[in-house]
Amino acid sequence: MTPIESIYEIKAAVLDLQRYLNYKDSIVPQIARTRYKKFVNRFFRENVHVLESEKRKICLDDVNYFLNLLESTVEYYYS
């Protein structure tokens, strides 16, 4: 799988998880948050040569920031 394909796969999964992160039930957001963290970690592991590791913490706390970072990383690969 190419880095771009992986990023699109992560993005699709995160967009699907996004609605569960703010779910009113107490268990559902915890499960969604655990899966979200796995996707953030995967993204930073696969793109370690492109990203600063300091951005990982911001991404863990801000889904929209992470989605924007995914897009900008795809743009980087295309340029």
Number of domains into which the chain is organized? 1
Element (DSSP H or E) covering residue 53: none
Task: Yes or no: say if 66 and 14 are a contact pair by the CB < 8 Å rule.
Answer: yes
Asked whether residue 66 carries a pLDDT value surpassing 90, the answer given is yes
Task: Yes or no: say if 51 and 39 are a contact pair by the CB < 8 Å rule.
Answer: no
pTM of the model: 0.92
pLDDT tens-digit series, residues 11-42: 999 999 999 988 888 889 999 999 999 999 99
Domain that holds residue 42: 3-78
Q: Which two tokens stand for residue 3?
A: 């880095």
Asked whether residue 60 carries a pLDDT value surpassing 90, the answer given is yes
Query: What average pLDDT does the structure give for the chain?
Result: 94
In the prediction, which pLDDT does 70 show? 97
